[in-house]
Structure 1
Amino acid sequence: MSTFVEASLRLSQLQQEFIRTDGADPATAPLVKHRKMTQSPFRFLRGSSGLFYADIHRRLLPLPKALCDVPLVRVMGDCHLANFGFFTEEGSSGDRVIFGPNDFDDACVGHAVWDLSRFAISLLLAADYCRGLAGGRYQSDDSVDFRDVKVATEQDGEKAMLAFFREYQQELLRISDDPERRFYAQDDFPKEHLLKPYLKKAIKRSAAGEHFLTKSTLAKTVDFTQKPLRFKADAGKFTRLSEQDYQRVLTSFRPYVDDDIVDLVARQGAGTGSLNLGRYYLLVGPKKWQNDEDLALYHVVEAKQQRRSAPLAFFAELSPVNQLNDAHLTVDCQRQMQRRPDLVLDELQFDGAHYLMRSLHHANVDLDPEDICLHATNPGLSMRQYAQACAVALALAHSRSDRRSCRFEQQMAAALNQHQAELADVCRQYAQQQMQDCQLLQQLLPKAE
């Protein structure tokens, strides 16, 4: 196994980084997220974006200099394969379902190669994760049936990574040739494409879809038998507030939504990197509803405490835009990177912290590694198809940072042409480092009683 750091030194680095980013020592007082991160290196990557940028800063992840010399753009910051999916443009107010980036919690102004490398590493670790599940090396929260499916090989992950780089470069060139292409979005796929059935699933969950009343975000979280409507009783996800706290949250958040807040709860146990941050779900719509047709007037809004974007611990000076408060920066980046951003997208200060307000889409559909790296006949093809779709979506998002010129697209495409092999090699090595890091975190945690 190729590693960057000797194990005892790396243990110390891991411990210090998690204390810094999570405010808890995994060796003495681990968070739930720390234990989840030991399930697999892929899960470790998802929960350790702060470590990722610390390693870039200390050159343990030595990204090619030429790829850092191109113009800055707004980046996702936590770009991995599980942070893309299907959703409706303009949030729950829209009807068009598209495929694109769906997580901007770590977004900021930075180097596009950050997103490229993190996504590429996630491809390699996703393939490793599915092989590890099949071989009993890794754990999953869900049971996986490996009958009648093939598992992506290490070579499949490699080919998907290279296809991702090539398609990203080609999309930049297409935008450079036709700048209006920035306003393109992927809203359809060929019949044989991996993503076609997931697109159909998302369309059916939209407000006009046949599964809206059973499969949409609204249907999954709200009890339609109640009048007025209320969130479902689910102790594992939702916590009811005291009357005093309910009114305090209601008063603070009401100005940021157009309709009434008919119910609200605290949301528990969501996410990996943001597992320990406060968040609330608001049910927004008319105070009274008459029949099922009125349900399309309701939607769920998330109010989420926003932590600092992970790259800014080391790269805040890259742009004055990064000086915006945590939630404001997320809103700014999401509005720039999306073609038609959510209509409910704002920030506020609550309980001494910055909170992000955003709509939870009715039609939200995400893919997990199992959906991408397991296939009845050709998991390598499904990985490449997914990687290429994400490459197009990411190039479009990056290009929207500067709509006046194509300097970024031209320079980045040229730099990738020269340094793609070097970038791929760096990503391979860091994927190996993450595999070791996952094992080291297991050693660092106290034994569960």
Structure 2
Amino acid sequence: MVVPVAFTASLSPAERAAYGREARKRASRSCHGWFEPDQQRPDPVEVIERQSASRLPELVPIRYGRMLESPFRFYRGAASIMAADLGPVPGTGLSVQLCGDAHLLNFRLLASPERHLVFDINDFDETMAGPFEWDVKRLAASIAIAGRANGFSARKQNEAVRACVRAYRRRMRRFAGMSTLDIWYAQDDADRMRELLASSMDKRARRRTADATAKARTRTHLQAFEKLTRVTAEGRRITPDPPLLTPLSSLLAESSGGDEEKELRTVLDGYARTLSSERRHLLRHYRLVDMARKVVGVGSVGTRCWILLMLGRDDGDPLLLQAKEAQESVLAPHTNGSHYDNQGRRVVAGQRLIQTTSDIFLGWTHVTGLDGVGRDFYVRQLRDWKGIARPETMDPGLLRLFGQLCGACLARAHARSGDPVAVAAYLGGSDRFDRALAGFAQAYADQNERDFEALGAAVRSGRVTAESL
């Protein structure tokens, strides 16, 4: 059972702490240290195929091709498999707003509306309320899987996992002693990253972080504009790169009608109504000039994702928006479900709740196409100062440091949405939970490799088709 945070809000700090310790009776800290597949565990390929059934069939083979590049890439696309594995496991019942897909590459540098560089969670497609440990387990397993891909020893992998979980636990304990508003205002900016790295003697890690910070500041919407568009006889348009980036005009030429164009213009109109009045006013300064379908990520491949090119005063005044289809969270069947009637709104609400500062153009909409199928979308800027980690280039020390950043960041997100007093009391001051998660991470990394091999076998047998691009 997942208990909403409102349940503990009326209790004293001592009562909230007692409630957190009581959760150890439902799920001891040491019980998190193992993973054994449930006897009724569904076929992992079947789980992925069910998820693919609602996606664009011509893009699904690209998804499988990307997942088969490595066990880590497979893991990125297998959130639905892990959700099914975590659902039956005894839980703490200590609810937070989960990211739902808290692996290493969903933590990155982002720009705040005040033009500060912050470190935060970036992907919220699967966000739902649920037990805090689900996010921590997904993050911990991703560290072990990344360490294996780099050839690190089990000891080095475990050190990185424990450092991550320790950072989560210790920061949650600090949040437990802070005021509610101080927790809400807390953020992980570039200065805090430098403070963490200053405690490390690894000069190489500090240098690489400084380089990553500088590079993130160059990854602006203008850079994306120059990369993704070109000047044509009709004016500035999106540059084709099919099937990864396909302008709407090309898709319409292949079809018999203009259904897609009508649907997309409806997306934009409905989305604008979800913005605050001043941001609607800002959006009115731009006109829509082109649209294209874009293939994004690993787990998201096959969902409908559109790039909208908008121009303001002239060609040097662009705005690139991404409208991405939002489907039901993979966590929904294993929780109390979502109370939102629009999956795009669920994503936006979850992002605003656990992210320190969100994109000013973040919104949602619903569209019923001419095929009679209703689809939900969320909208945000395509790129704004994003710095993405590259785990494959990390040595054991840097992976450990990055894990610490991610663990501390996840604690901040959970403290905003859950009860940090109860969660901190559950975790306690010892390293019991840290050690348990290291054991879980190794066991789940083993399972992930077996599932990766199962998908490979399904491709070789012709059960599913994979395409490498």
Q: What TM-score results when the alignment is normalised by the length of structure 2?
A: 0.75
CA shift, 1:401, in A, is: 1.1
1:170 and 1:413 in contact (8 A); partners too: no
CA shift, 1:129, in A, is: 1.8
Matched AA of 2:224: T
CA shift, 1:418, in A, is: 4.2
Rounded to whole Å, the distance in 1 between the matches of 2:115 and 2:175 is: 26
The equivalent of 2:314 in structure 1 is 289
The equivalent of 1:34 in structure 2 is 64
102-111 or 167-176, which deviates more: 167-176
SS of aligned partner of 2:241: coil
Residue from 49, 61, 71 that aligns with 2:79: 49
The equivalent of 2:16 in structure 1 is none
Distance 1:43 1:416, change over 3 A: farther
Matched, 1:325 2:327: no
1:345 and 1:358 in contact (8 A); partners too: yes
Q: Over residues 364-386 of structure 1, what are the superposed CA-to-partner deviations in whole Å (9 max), with x where a residue is unaligned?
A: 12113213x3xxxxx11101110
The equivalent of 2:156 in structure 1 is 156
1:167 and 1:388 in contact (8 A); partners too: yes
CA shift, 1:80, in A, is: 0.2
2:68 and 2:452 in contact (8 A); partners too: yes
Rounded to whole Å, the distance in 1 between the matches of 2:54 and 2:356 is: 38
Rounded to whole Å, the distance in 1 between the matches of 2:69 and 2:454 is: 12
Distance 1:228 1:187, change over 3 A: farther
Matched, 1:200 2:214: yes
SS of aligned partner of 2:170: helix
Matched AA of 1:266: A
The equivalent of 1:272 in structure 2 is 298
1:24 and 1:30 in contact (8 A); partners too: no
CA shift, 1:89, in A, is: 1.5
1:303 and 1:358 in contact (8 A); partners too: yes
Residue from 17, 32, 40 that aligns with 2:47: 17
Rounded to whole Å, the distance in 1 between the matches of 2:219 and 2:349 is: 28
The equivalent of 1:69 in structure 2 is 93
Residue from 238, 245, 268 that aligns with 1:253: 268
Matched AA of 1:280: W
Q: Over residues 396-426 of structure 1, what are the superposed CA-to-partner deviations in whole Å (9 max), with x where a residue is unaligned?
A: 1111115xx6434433442885433223212
Matched, 1:219 2:244: no
CA shift, 1:322, in A, is: 4.2
CA shift, 1:363, in A, is: 1.3
The within-5 A match list for 1:118-157 is 118-131=138-151, 152-157=152-157
Rounded to whole Å, the distance in 1 between the matches of 2:325 and 2:142 is: 26
The equivalent of 2:188 in structure 1 is 186
Matched AA of 2:52: D
Rounded to whole Å, the distance in 2 between the matches of 1:30 and 1:300 is: 25
SS of aligned partner of 2:290: strand
Residue from 75, 95, 118 that aligns with 2:115: 95
- RMSD between aligned residues: 3.0
Q: Over residues 347-373 of structure 1, what are the superposed CA-to-partner deviations in whole Å (9 max), with x where a residue is unaligned?
A: 1112311111112233112113213x3
Distance 1:249 1:69, change over 3 A: closer
Matched, 1:82 2:133: no
Matched, 1:348 2:365: yes
SS of aligned partner of 2:440: helix
Matched, 1:367 2:371: no
1:14 and 1:51 in contact (8 A); partners too: yes
Matched AA of 1:157: Q
Q: Over residues 256-312 of structure 1, what are the superposed CA-to-partner deviations in whole Å (9 max), with x where a residue is unaligned?
A: 3513233332323212111011111112331x417xxxx3x4321111111111111
1:88 and 1:361 in contact (8 A); partners too: no
- Unmatched segments (≥5 aa) in structure 1: 132-151, 208-212, 374-378
The equivalent of 1:233 in structure 2 is 240
SS of aligned partner of 1:280: strand
Q: What TM-score results when the alignment is normalised by the length of structure 1?
A: 0.78
Distance 1:340 1:124, change over 3 A: same
CA shift, 1:255, in A, is: 5.2
Rounded to whole Å, the distance in 2 between the matches of 1:220 and 1:416 is: 50
Rounded to whole Å, the distance in 2 between the matches of 1:206 and 1:274 is: 23
Rounded to whole Å, the distance in 1 between the matches of 2:339 and 2:212 is: 35
Distance 1:262 1:226, change over 3 A: farther
Distance 1:36 1:203, change over 3 A: closer
The equivalent of 1:172 in structure 2 is 172
Query: What is the aligned-residue identity percentage?
Result: 23
Rounded to whole Å, the distance in 2 between the matches of 1:15 and 1:248 is: 32
CA shift, 1:46, in A, is: 0.9
Q: Over residues 197-226 of structure 1, what are the superposed CA-to-partner deviations in whole Å (9 max), with x where a residue is unaligned?
A: 21111123347xxxxx5xx33332233688
CA shift, 1:32, in A, is: 2.6
340-349 or 247-256, which deviates more: 247-256
CA shift, 1:176, in A, is: 2.1
Matched AA of 1:74: Q
Rounded to whole Å, the distance in 2 between the matches of 1:13 and 1:270 is: 25
Distance 1:160 1:78, change over 3 A: same
SS of aligned partner of 1:105: coil
Matched AA of 1:441: L
Q: How many residues in Structure 1 have an aligned counterpart in Structure 2?
A: 389
Rounded to whole Å, the distance in 1 between the matches of 2:165 and 2:233 is: 50
- Unmatched segments (≥5 aa) in structure 2: 1-33, 253-257, 273-282
CA shift, 1:341, in A, is: 1.4
2:141 and 2:442 in contact (8 A); partners too: yes
